[in-house]
Amino acid sequence: VRPGCFTTGSRVQPKKYMLLGGGQEGGKRSGTENVPYIVALGTAADIIMKRTEQGDLQWQQNAHWMKAMRYRLKKNLVKALGEDMVRDNGPDRHNYRLPNTLSIGIKSVQSGDLLNQIQRQVACSAGSACHASGEQLSPVLEAMCVPSEFARGTLRLSVGPDTTEEEIDKASAIIIREVTRQVGLGSTED
């Protein structure tokens, strides 16, 4: 079934949709498959398989480095703000998560307000990738059982194979400084 095949006029409409979207199409299936990107993903998979067969393990080294940078970012935030203020929204089992992405909930903050203050200094986004707008909680974060006090303050941060420890520490300091200002935790070290 293609998007837009069913109308709300006199034509027959299905009782239940097989695919639900994020609301861009009124609750019906949103979007169209991006064929060039699908082909590119397949090509990238072919390339990495060929390189792996030839002994090139650079992708594993990159993944290991990104995990370390992701962990450093989380550790910095938890150390400065406290375990009661910071929640890692990702899976507990680290082999179930992407090496480069950190979804972190910060208690007593609104992610949109935080993002507005830091977005020119730290590349990040608010909420979940599937629902990053408005006052409502993300259904994705709800499905992940993220408590509302953390879901409202969720930031998504990504690192890359070229991300440095210094960049992580600088981003951490900027986030910590703004959270501290918004929540009134007192002074923190930079």
What gap in Å lies between CA 50 and CA 153, rounded to an integer? 42
What gap in Å lies between CA 104 and CA 190, rounded to an integer? 20
On the question of pLDDT at 33 being above 60, the answer is yes
Express each pLDDT in 140-177 by its tens digit: 888 888 999 999 999 999 999 999 999 999 999 999 99
On the question of pLDDT at 139 being above 70, the answer is yes
- Which residues have CB under 8 Å from 11's CB, separation 6+? none
What dihedral do alpha carbons 110, 145, 66, 160 form, nearest 10°? -50
Is 130 an annotated catalytic residue?
yes
What gap in Å lies between CA 103 and CA 129, rounded to an integer? 10
Residue 106: what pLDDT? 96
Q: Which of 105, 76, 63 is nearest to 168 (CA)?
A: 76
pLDDT, average across residues 34-40: 87
Higher pLDDT, 1 or 159: 159
What gap in Å lies between CA 139 and CA 167, rounded to an integer? 31
What dihedral do alpha carbons 86, 92, 96, 102 form, nearest 10°? 10
On the question of pLDDT at 190 being above 90, the answer is no
Residue 23: what pLDDT? 57
- Which residues have CB under 8 Å from 29's CB, separation 6+? 1, 3, 17, 18, 19, 20, 21
Residue 17: what pLDDT? 53
pLDDT, average across residues 124-153: 77
Catalytic residue among 5, 124, 130, 145: 130
Residue 7: what pLDDT? 46
Express each pLDDT in 66-110 by its tens digit: 999 999 999 999 999 999 999 999 888 878 889 999 999 999 999
pTM confidence score: 0.71
